[in-house]
Amino acid sequence: MTNSIRAALAAVIRTERGRHAITQTQIAYRSGFSRSTIRRIERGERAVTVDQLVAIADAIGVKPAELLEEAIRGRG
Q: Indicate the class that CATH gives domain 3-75.
A: mainly alpha
**Residue 22: what residue type?**
I
* b/e burial code for range 29-68 (CB count within 10 A of at least 16 → b): eebebeeebbebbbebebebeeebbebbbebbebebeebb
Domain boundaries, the chain: 3-75
pLDDT of residue 2: 67
Render pLDDT for 1-57 as a digit per residue (tens, 0 to 9). 567 899 999 999 999 999 999 999 999 999 999 999 999 999 999 999 999 999 999
Q: What is the pLDDT of residues 55-65, one digit of tens each?
A: 999 999 999 99
